[in-house]
Chain A
Amino acid sequence: GAVVSQHPSRVICKSGTSVKIECRSLDFQATTMFWYRQFPKQSLMLMATSNEGSKATYEQGVEKDKFLINHASLTLSTLTVTSAHPEDSSFYICSARVDGNYGYTFGSGTRLTVV
């Protein structure tokens, strides 16, 4: 079936540094990818939608200059958290829409801790 590989699974970084999270579709082409995040005791919330070769669409309240999304190929989307701060500590997970009857597939998530 369709698989999305997400890396890293866990990352700890210092405040003020940038962190890049990658999501790769392993056996299909992902025209559209979605980035979600989950703060403690809250729901997974959609941050942005990325389409290959075009600018991402961000949900209300998500800073596009802070969360840089690049979807330069049909198999790779990246989320870069720039100048990370402790309040960015969260669980980030990507998802891709799969054509046909496969629906949507999700990565394994990245636990980001900013210290």
Chain B
Amino acid sequence: GDSVTQMEGPVTLSEEAFLTINCTYTATGYPSLFWYVQYPGEGLQLLLKATKADDKGSNKGFEATYRKETTSFHLEKGSVQVSDSAVYFCALRLNTGNQFYFGTGTSLTVIP
């Protein structure tokens, strides 16, 4: 079935460190891939997305590239800030439906 496997946390980094959160997926169809972020007390917010192979999503310094050959969509940021502390969810949605398939979420804490 369709699923997302996401790197487990929690992750603690110093400010300005490089961030990678791994995400791989299994899909029966042609999915769109997403990264959502949840800041404390808030809802899941779309961080970035990619709708087809080799697309790169980017936002707020975060990037992820849709790699069909490795079925991956790893999230990266070159220099994290304290304000990036949040829980990050990788997800897929088949283009034929409404349902999202989420990873378990990765908690990131950035310390000054």
Contact residues of A with B, CB < 8 Å? 4, 6, 9, 32, 34, 36, 38, 41-46, 49, 93, 95, 97, 103-109
- Using Cβ atoms and an 8 Å threshold, which residues of chain B touch A106? 36, 43-45
CB distance from A34 to the nearest CB of B (A): 7
From B4, B36, B38, B98, give the contact of A43 (CB < 8 A). B4
Question: Which size bracket describes the interface of B in this complex?
Answer: 20 to 34
CB distance from A41 to the nearest CB of B (A): 6
| Stretch from B12-20, B61-69, B71-79, B99-107 forming part of the interface with A | B99-107
Q: Is the CB of B46 within 8 A of A103?
A: yes
Contact residues of B with A, CB < 8 Å? 3-4, 8, 36, 38, 41-46, 89, 98-105
Interchain Cβ contacts under 8 Å between A and B, 26 examples: A32-B98, A34-B98, A34-B99, A36-B100, A38-B102, A38-B104, A41-B104, A42-B104, A43-B3, A43-B4, A43-B102, A43-B105, A44-B89, A44-B105, A45-B102, A46-B100, A93-B43, A93-B44, A97-B98, A103-B46, A104-B100, A106-B36, A106-B44, A108-B41, A108-B42, A109-B38
